Structure 1
Amino acid sequence: MTTAALDPRAGRRCHNALNTLHSTHYFSPDLGRELGAVGITDPRAVNFAARAAALGPVGAGAVTATFYNYKHDLVARHVPAVWETAAPQQVLAARLRAVDATLRRLLGEETVASPEMSEAAGLALRAAEGCTRCARPLYSAHADLPVPKAPHLAYWHAATLLREHRGDGHLAVLAAAGLDGLEALVTHTATGKGMAPKWVLSTRGWTRREWNAAADRLRGRGLIDEAGELTGAGAALRDDIERETDRLDAAPYAHLGAEGVARLTGLATAFARTALGAGAFPADLLGKA
């Protein structure tokens, strides 16, 4: 461990780099292929099953609550029916096979087998030792899963733990800020860092009319303007949300220490850049349009 002071935003930067590689599998044809092999073919059912399987054969209510920004009607269309097609353990095994194929394709065999990947896996798993289970259902469910033996899969598993730990805390902060799931999406998109509306509407189950109604509610609160841009108050609220999320997510990075966080961030950033360069995400995924 290091005694150097940890920058308050260092954990966020590390998480962002880790999460980039973690998230590639949601956009990978490998995930659809592997879950299709166990009978799950609808892309939305694939998404719900892959992320929720660690919770067990839960109902729609648990998925809506833990995912936060999906329309419940869409969730209920696929959950719990998806578990009749493939049990959660089958889904988890298929998901891991998809991750293996995705990382090998995006990063290349040399990177997957590199000493840097083994080092990153060790650092990320050490950071995850600092996570806490209380009020963190998705993190806690994934923490019950075994750590894969292959370093690149262990790294992805640790990135998943750190992603869901931060995510669970983030949802609590959104709720405390008075933002429902769709309002959270609208304000995040307005920052320019969230998914573009076309992707939100095609994956989260909301209609354009519902998006516009949420925007009207936010205008009534003085958080966005007529053009859909964040006002000063809206930008301040989003900044406050991220800072409070940082505070709730500080423990794993404090546990790893400043030097470890810096090293893990560097390694994770390099992996993420390689994946991005290999076309891991749709070109129009992010933005305000």
Structure 2
Amino acid sequence: MTTTSSLPEHAGRRCHNVVNAYHSTVYFSPDLPAEMAKLGITDPGAAYFLTRAAALGAVGPGTVAATFYNFNYDLIARHVPHCWSVVSPEATLEARLRAADTTLRRLLGDAVDAPEMAEAAELALRATEACTRHARPLYAAHADLPVPDAPHLAYWHAASLLREHRGDGHLAALLDAGLDGLEALVTHTASGRGARQKWVLATRGWTVDDWTAAQDRLRERGLLDADGELTEAGVRLRADLEDTTDRLDRAPYEHLGAEGVARLTELATGYATTVLEAGAFPADLTGKD
């Protein structure tokens, strides 16, 4: 399907990628599991999906598995719904925002109070005005949350909305491509852009046997070769997935316009560079094992 865009090619994708780096800092921060531990959730591996899922309310493991897509259901079921008897979704969201505040202040220093931060928040929030709730459960749930007053947290909130909007669309693209959750992870890792296998297995609840079985299924489809590398068909599939995701995520960036997207990308690139240099993410997170 072809579409006409007023933006340069892949401008929305490039903007999203650097904005998402700002959003993602909290999920790699030690502050998040520390805040959750204060509330009685002591497994640091559960903090990520619990704090994102909390926007949906006290849902069960099936809803979390459906909206997160690439987590092993059994891992989720070990924590949900039991976690909601320990801490409410509302308290979980408050803990996440506290962690975002301390994390961003530590990584960015005085930049959190600079005028450019308020500008980034305004641009990102303007982009979210064109996001849509239908068939986008994680975005829709986050869109119902209030916008924080502090500019660095308002920008983080807007970045979260843009991330979830694109993410929900990406899941639709994965489903249409016939990739299950683990197959999506395997192909992404094989592309060199996704998380390393050892990190996926440590955080998503899958085993080496699960990974090997997914590779075998992908080989049967001609998407992986004998060495676990993407075939030409596999490379095309990953490219098509990103193009489809771009198309489903056009609206916020078209709404912001070329000038606004360029400025938000500029500001977001600066923040992304700063947090990366400050060690916000593991150095060996992405690539191939």
| TM-score class normalised by the smaller sequence | over 0.9
The residue aligned with 1:19 is 20
Partner of 1:34: 35
1:282 positional shift:
0.9
Letter aligned with residue 74 of structure 1: L
Distance 2:147 2:40 in 1: 26
Structure 1 alignment gaps of length 5 or more = none
Pick which of 178-187 and 40-49 moved more.
Answer: 40-49
- Paired residue for 1:7? 8
Query: In the alignment, is the contact (CA less than 8 A) between 1:8 and 1:246 conserved in 2?
Result: no
Query: 5+ unaligned residues in a row in structure 2: which ranges?
Result: none
Counterpart residue number, 2:147 = 147
Are residue 206 (structure 1) and residue 206 (structure 2) matched? Answer: yes
Aligned mates of 1:30, 1:16 — CA distance in 2: 23
Q: What is the root-mean-square deviation of aligned Cα atoms in Å?
A: 0.8
* Shift of residue 176, structure 1, vs aligned partner: 0.4
Aligned residue identity for 2:199:
W
- Aligned 8 A contact 2:6 2:254 in 1: no
Give the aligned partner of residue 136 of structure 2: 136
> C-alpha separation between the residues in 2 aligned to 1:25 and 1:224?
33
What amino acid maps onto 2:151 in structure 1?
Answer: P
Q: Which residue of 1 aligns with 2:60?
A: 59
The 5 Å alignment of 1:229-244 reads 229-244=229-244
Q: Check the 8 A contact 1:11/1:250 in 2, yes or no.
A: yes
| Range with bigger deviation, 42-51 or 205-214 | 42-51
2-structure distance, mates of 1:261, 1:247: 16
Runs of 4+ in 1 over 6 A off after TM superposition: none
Q: CA deviation at 1:5?
A: 3.0
| Cα contact 1:186–1:215 (8 A) shared by 2 | yes
Contact 2:10 2:246 in 1 (8 A): yes
Q: Which amino acid counterpart does residue 237 of structure 1 have in structure 2?
A: L
Residue 90 of structure 1 is matched in structure 2 by 91
Displacement of 1:188: 0.3
Secondary structure of the structure 1 residue equivalent to 2:42? coil
Q: Could you give the per-residue CA deviations for residues 57-77 of structure 1, whole angstroms, max 9, x where no partner exists? A: 000000000000000000100
- Normalised to the residue count of structure 1, the TM-score between the two structures is 0.97
Match of 2:258 in 1: 258
SS at match of 1:147: coil
Fraction of identical pairs, as percent: 69
Deviations 1:24-59 (A, max 9, x none): 111101101111111111012212211100000000
Q: Is the 8 Å Cα contact of residues 67 and 137 (structure 2) preserved in structure 1?
A: yes
Letter aligned with residue 156 of structure 1: W
Give the Å deviation of 1:8.
Answer: 3.5
The one-character-per-residue Cα deviations of 1:186-223 (angstroms, maximum 9, x if unpaired) are 00001101000000000000000110010010011000
Query: What is the Cα deviation at residue 281 of structure 1?
Result: 0.7
Aligned length: 285
Higher mean Cα deviation, 279-288 or 59-68? Answer: 279-288
Supply the distance in 1 between the matched residues of 2:66 and 2:75 (Cα, whole angstroms): 13
Structure 1: distance between partners of 2:32 and 2:140: 23
Deviation per residue, 1:147-176 (Å, 9 max, x gap): 000000000000000000000000000000
**Aligned positions of 1:76-225 closer than 5 A:** 76-108=77-109, 110-225=110-225
**Contact 1:45–1:82 (CA under 8 A) maintained in structure 2:** no
Report the 3-state secondary structure (helix = DSSP H, G, I; strand = E; otherwise coil) of the residue aligned with 1:41.
coil
Write the distance in 2 (CA, Å) between the matches of 1:7 and 1:251.
Answer: 14
Give, in whole Å, the separation in 2 of the partners of 1:194 and 1:60: 25
TM-score, normalised relative to structure 2? 0.97
The answer to whether the Cα contact below 8 Å between 2:190 and 2:228 also exists between their aligned partners in 1 is: yes
Do 2:65 and 2:72's aligned partners in 1 also have CA atoms closer than 8 Å? yes
Cα distance in 2 for partners of 1:187, 1:169 equals 18
